[in-house]
Amino acid sequence: MRRHPRVHEKGAFTDARQAKAGLFQAAHGGTLFLDEVGLLPVALQGKLLKAVEERTVRRLGGTRNEPIDVWMISATSEDLRAALRGGRMREDLYHRLAVVSLRLPPLRERGEDVVVLAEHFLARACAEYGRPPKTLAPDARAALCQQAWPGNVRELSNVMERVALLTDGARVTAAVLGLSETAAAVTPEESPSLKDAVSRLERARLVEALERAEGNLSRARRRAPASVLRSPSHPRPLWRRCRLLPCAGSGGTSRSSAPACRFPRARSRHRKRAAPSK
């Protein structure tokens, strides 16, 4: 939009020998794509907001508003939430444009899609430069998936173009790719199993119930819901499960992690021995 600042009528200023239509007029009845909308200056955002709200535009030197009918698609690599907080993005414009929002994950989160894209870029570069076709070795595929790719698709395309131009062999290995080890992606932590996730949730609810009862187990038993009292993953009485918690004073755990539990005194059961009959 910054490249088309002077949408004007004929004679609006010196050397305006003919009228010039803008992007909205050119896209009338179609779709207008705004790339990197998060980098627009605030002043230009105001003009864009006015056009979106009123669905009309007026050329420089014109006397009437021209109606526009366009679908608008905008894209950005900026964090618009942070831009809103920093005052670099108008909130009213953001809500006007963000009717339907789609988040495209970065390349490092695409898993094996990286290999598919790499093969596509490699085949395209080989065909474009008249080079023989090349294939990716297993170690090259693994290296591609482990890379962080801060430059996303552009960086991957450049790597494949370099490989197509500078590699003579038909088989591309990890060494041929020449990826920087410092840019390797951090291996994500292994996702917890369903059993572990359920146990963590039950533990959190149990700690919450004890905190509300100020560590009193009898009071917690009376007030806690049935889902806390009966655990599908730990079919034990409530007091036995409480003993498994790292309560205060158990060593290495602070008071903030779990309440100080007060367990009921165990009841001793004695059978009275019958006196021998005489």
- State pLDDT tens for residues 92-107: 999 999 888 888 889 9
Q: For domain 107-183, give the CATH number.
A: 1.10.8.60
Domains 23-97 and 107-183 share a fold: no
Asked if residues 62 and 51 have their Cβ atoms less than 8 Å apart, the reply is no
Residue carrying the six token digits 């305006």: 16
Mean pLDDT calculated for residue range 163-169:
92
Domain boundaries, given as residue ranges, for the chain: 23-97, 107-183, 194-265
Residue 243 pLDDT level (bands cut at 50, 70, 90):
low
Phi and psi based region of residue 216 (left: phi greater than 0; alpha: psi -120 to 50; beta: remaining): beta
**Superfamily of segment(s) 23-97:** P-loop containing nucleotide triphosphate hydrolases (3.40.50.300)
Per-residue confidence band for 218, with pLDDT thresholds at 50, 70 and 90: confident
Rounded to an integer, what distance in angstroms lies between the CA atom of residue 143 and that of residue 125? 20
Q: What pTM did the predictor assign? A: 0.51
Position 253 scores a pLDDT of: 41
